[in-house]
Each structure stands twice: as C-alpha cells, then as structure tokens.
Amino acid sequence: MPHRLSKAARKKLAALMTQLNRDPALRAATSARMKRRRADPAFNAAHRRAMKRLWADPKFKAATSARMKRNNADPAFRAKQSASVSLPPATRAAIIAALRADPHAKRVAKSVGGASYQTVLRVAKAAGIKLRPPKLTPHQKREAIQRRDGGEPLGAIARSYNVHPSTICRLAA
C-alpha cells in the first residue's frame, strides 16, 4: 500500500523538485514508481541529499521557518488543524458535553458512539478542554523539587504524593 503524503510534505517535495530539477541524479531517482514513496533506498538517499541541499538554502529556510512560526503562533490555525477530522455536529457536541462532565478521554470515547480515543483528543484540544487535572499542585511540585534536590530518594518522594517516581523525576527544577 503506498504511503500518503501530507499537504505540507507534498508542497515541500514540489518545491524540492522545482529547485533541483537540473540535478540528473535526482531526476533519475524520481521515476513515477518512486514518487509513490515505496521503500526504495536509492530514492530515499537521493531525497535526503536533496532535502539537505534545499534546507541549506537560506531563503527557503527563512520562508519555511517564518511560515511555521506564524502558523504555530495562531491559535485559530492550530484549532483548525486539530479539529480537521470530519464529525457530525451532534457527535462533536456530545463529545464536548461528555468531556466537560468527565475529563477522562478514554471513558468519553467508550460512552460516545462513533468516537475513537484519538477523535476525542482532537475535539478536546480544539475546544480548549483540559483532559485531566495534574497529579501534583504547584505547591506540591515545588516541595517535591526541593526534596529531590536535597537528596531524598525518588521512590520515597513519589510514595508520599501517591505518584510514580518518574513523575517526580520529570519535574523541572
């Protein structure tokens, strides 16, 4: 089954092909069969080299970076991207109502018919709903960081807050 490219990847590949069309090695590697992104090491190697040269171009890098920053800074764009899954409005409303009542996405996915876990996550993100409360309050986090930096074992700290030791380990100092 051929791999499907995202719109951004198709645009990037088109820009690559137009800029590097004079490269005979790349032209030879981009036959119709290889464009379908089959697992062909020759194409992948040529594609990697071409992408490296394309990203070395400061104009391309600046334009792409600016576009990515613009899109990532725009909350409307992010919401549109995350909610791009097509759902009937009634199902979307049911998911949002269920999430507001119970912020656990797995339980909501089971309770709302026709909604997968990933769909519930995307709808929650688009609606700006936090899925579950944090395990530790800000005060507990500060306290745990002080105890961890003081040399107390992670397991002992984790047991006192009823969390996994990796939770304590991940806390930023």
Q: Quick check: is 133 in a domain? A: no
Residue 23 maps to a domain: yes
* Residue 77, in any domain of the structure: no
User: Does residue 157 lie within any of the structural domains?
Assistant: yes
Is 58 in the same domain as 11? yes
Domain annotation covers residue 149: yes
- Verify that 96 and 67 share a domain, yes or no: no
Instruction: Check whether residue 152 and residue 108 sit in a common domain.
Output: no
Report, as an integer, the average pLDDT of 141-162: 93
Please report whether residue 78 resides in a domain: no
- Digit-coded pLDDT (tens) for 81-102: 655 556 778 888 888 888 888 7
Query: Do residues 108 and 144 share a domain?
Result: no
Same domain, 120 and 150: no
**What is the reported pTM?**
0.35
Q: Are residues 47 and 19 in the same domain?
A: yes
Which of 22-26, 33-37, 75-79, 104-108 is predicted least confidently? Answer: 33-37
State residue 81's pLDDT score: 61
Domain that holds residue 60: 7-72
Report residue 117's pLDDT band, with 50, 70 and 90 as the boundaries.
confident
Q: Is 41 exposed, middle or buried (0-12, 13-18, 19+ CB in 10 A)?
A: exposed
Mean pLDDT of the chain: 76
